[in-house]
Amino acid sequence: MCSALADAAADAGIGLTLLPVLYERAGFAQPALRDDQRRFATTVSDVLALQRAVASWARPLLDAGVAVHSLRAARPESIAALAAASKGPLHIHVAEQTAEVDDCRTATGLRPIEWLLRQAAPDARWQLVHATHATAAEIDGVARAGAGVVLCPATEANLGDRLADLPGWLASAAPLALGSDSQVVRAWPEELRWVEFGQRLALRRRNVAAAPGVEPATAARLFEHVRAGSAGAAGFARWGLEPGARADLLVVDVQDDALRGLPTSHRLDALVFAAPARPFSRVLVAGRWRAPPAAADGERFDAAMAELWGESPSIG
């Protein structure tokens, strides 16, 4: 399966970080997997072997980290062993639903994120996926540890998990990234829209993510937070248009009906909140153009390039 996913990513021309998952038990008080879960069964040795195998392929744009499905699905000693032996990013689903929080407190006396902070000593490799039910003290602890948080707003909405404390996470120093966690939504502009609109509904005010006097544009502040936080989640030191980062970019189609005529300062907000039908005209991955535009779109693409760089660049 790992090989098939790597082949698919190569065919599409995108980068991929695979995360073999540790999955040992059905719950805190259930030391074995149910019959319907046995197809997911892995051990620490299995996960590390898969990570080494992926690394040994030495395929372009392919990396590997590891993951723990959740605290309920792995024994504490296994989590510790995996963290000690693995390299690269380490993801774990945590504090997604109230039942998980209640079960963890019953089994350990601690909330899930609280348990991680006390028992697992997370560092910058760790990515806490969801972290929906986090207290102010836990948010502060995650930020001090340097661990990242991966919000999955569309899936969290689909499952009725609750809204994360976005203002709390934005005010902290914890890196933030976006995840899908399912096939409900696979478009980051829509995920960012979910992040902001959910908060507006809950708090009954607009522009929750904006920071007047610092970053007044809601979409720009959200985008920059998740852009910067995505580096650690994917296992990179740098991410985005900065020296030393992999040369990845999306060219916005400024002629889309939702974007046409807007000043540059408003385009990112329009990209997220106006939901253009065809937001991107071209994709660059590791310095190579992917998914070239159709012939009819060539003139629009050249215009976008001219506006971006002053002329259409030649990138090898």
Name the burial class of residue 310, with classes exposed (0-12), middle (13-18) and buried (19+) by CB atoms within 10 angstroms of its CB: exposed
∠ CA 259-178-271, rounded to 5°: 5
Residue 225 known to be catalytic:
no
The runs of H, that is alpha helices, within the chain are: 2-12, 44-56, 76-85, 98-108, 112-115, 136-145, 153-158, 166-171, 188-203, 218-234, 264-273, 298-309
Residue 35 known to be catalytic:
no
Could you tell me if 66 and 48 are in contact, meaning their C-beta atoms sit under 8 angstroms apart? yes
Q: Which of 181, 248, 253, 269 is catalytic?
A: 181
DSSP state letter for 209: T
CB hemisphere CA count around 179 (13 angstroms):
25
Amino acid sitting at position 52: R
From residue 47, give the alpha-carbon distance in Å to each of 90, 94, 125. 11, 19, 16
Q: Which of 91, 130, 133, 225 is catalytic?
A: 130
Provide the annotated active-site residues: 130, 181
